A = this chain, B = another copy of it.
Amino acid sequence: MDRRLKIGLFGFGTVGQGFYQILQEQQLPLEVHRICVRNPHKERPAPQELLTCEARDILEDPEIDLVVEAISETEPAFSIVRESLLRWLPVVSASKKMLALHLPELLALQQETSTPLRYEGAVGGAIPILHLLDEPLRHEPVLSLRAILNGTSNYILSQMRQQGWSYAHALQEAQRLGFAEADPAADVEGYDPCYKLSLLALHAFGTALAPADITRTGITGISAGQIREAEAQGRRIKLIARLQRDAGGSLQASVGPEWLEPDDALWGIEQELNGVEVALKYSGPQLFTGRGAGARPTGTAVLSDVLKLMEGRAYAYPKQEKRHPIVVA
């Protein structure tokens, strides 16, 4: 009898392929059993017999134990995650926008179906920040959080400073290297870090913030002159995501460019790297840095969640008030 856990994979782009390839290199009791793609005739680095373009070939296959959803579009990503949970299939998702926009429903669905959903790869890429908040730091009240969550913007700002490039030229280079999409708005207008911050708000503070409730400024207004002016003052401009409570205890969330001083913990996070700094009640400040995107960094985060789901481990959402429903802002 085959004891290997069978995964149904939706989407075979950057993240899906990264996850699939890492799995091939590992000696683990799990395998990708089926891959659902939009166009099953396109050449893919996986055996043809694994491919399908019918979602039901995964969702209705009684052999599938677990779903990995790595589709870039919010639809059908949400429908697939929803349908999987309703069929008691644990899910790992990497779709940050979909997760952020549907968070309250997805939390309710997890509770109703007693079926877990994990999504580490949707926040800090390879940085295991959700895991950290959920397990070793679960008993630590989070006082505030500051982060660099968008590798594309961070790369553009680093290159403008180091090479003296204009914003337009730096963006072009980022696109050429594959760090930025053809339509870069989600990154450079700050939407992408808002989605990630929305997920972090739930895990760090127990509050499900809608992305639209986050004050947002992107980097499109940053000129080469401002970069030079910051440099002349011994400072660096970076796109910073923030979560902190105001005097009344309400959670405030923002994403926008800030002029950092050299002693700032996020100062040295350059190029396409991401970083999350959390101020904790007992241990003080902690900083976690790593690659926030890319096939293998995100693929390894997905695998990490798959291994947790094999242990039956759902997120504990430990920062929520105990025995109270999740606060939906």
Contacts and interface: CB of A to CB of B under 8 A. Distances in A.
Contacts of A297: 282-284
Number of copies: 2
A279 to B, nearest CB: 11
A123 interface: no
A27 B318 CA distance: 12
The bracket for how many chain A residues form the interface is: 35 or more
Interface stretch (A107-115, A240-248, A251-259, A288-296): A288-296
A299 B282 contact: yes
Interface stretch (A37-45, A87-95, A129-137): A129-137
Contacts of A289: 265, 285-289
Contacts of A291: 283-285
A106 to B, nearest CB: 21
A286 B132 CA distance: 14
Contacts of A284: 126, 290-291, 296-297
Interface stretch (A64-72, A210-218, A301-309): A301-309
Contacts of A225: none
Interface string A201-226: 00000000000000000000000000
A26 interface: yes
A81 to B, nearest CB: 21
Interface of A: 22, 26-28, 120, 125-128, 131-132, 135-140, 263, 265, 267-268, 270, 280, 282-291, 296-297, 299-301, 303-304, 307-308, 322
27 contacts: A22-B139, A22-B282, A27-B322, A28-B139, A125-B283, A126-B284, A127-B286, A131-B136, A132-B132, A132-B136, A135-B135, A138-B307, A140-B300, A263-B268, A265-B268, A265-B289, A282-B297, A283-B297, A283-B300, A283-B301, A284-B290, A284-B291, A284-B297, A285-B290, A286-B290, A287-B287, A288-B288
